[in-house]
Amino acid sequence: MDELSPQVRHQIEQFQQTQQQAQALATQRVQLQSLITEIEKALEELSKVSEETPVYKTVGRLLIKKSREEILKELQEEKETLELRVRVLSRQEERVVERLQEMREKLQQMLKGSGSAK
């Protein structure tokens, strides 16, 4: 097998780093989507209870009594923030995947060129 040129090796390293970046973005997006699902379940359960039902929120090792409306507002705000972060991560992920495709094509051309130089 022929030795790869330093330029090709560098491109392969960059490609691998970009793959890792895409994977990290996807992992973060999935984690945030999971948190959104949890919040949606909590909001659904809160909608089933009356205004008078005591509601508690965990803060560290404590349970703090709060009004149903306060907790609804906090959860809704947190959900909106997470949804925004998911949209940002999705756009970043799309750009990285596009860059990966461009890098893959460039690498294939470089490897074809070095293979036909025999």
**In this predicted model, what pLDDT tens digit does every residue of 18-31 receive, in sequence order?**
999 999 999 999 99
Domain with 71, as residue range(s), is: 6-115
**100 part of a folded domain:** yes
**1 part of a folded domain:** no
**Taking 60 as the threshold, does the pLDDT of residue 99 lie above it?**
yes
Alpha helices in the chain (DSSP H): 6-48, 68-115
Domain CATH for 54: 1.10.287.370
**75 part of a folded domain:** yes
As given in the structure block, the two tokens for residue 26 are 């996807």
- Per-residue confidence (pLDDT) for residue 1, from 0 to 100: 40
Among positive and negative, which fits the CA dihedral 78, 80, 83, 88?
negative
**72 part of a folded domain:** yes
- As a whole number, mean pLDDT of residues 98-107 equals 95
**91 part of a folded domain:** yes
Residue with tokens 């780093």: 17
**39 part of a folded domain:** yes
Hey, what long-range contacts does 2-9 have (CB within 8 A, 24 or more apart)?
Answer: 2/114, 2/115, 2/118, 4/114, 5/114, 7/110, 8/107, 8/110, 8/111, 8/114
pTM over the 0.85 mark: no
- Work out how many domains the chain is built from and give that number: 1
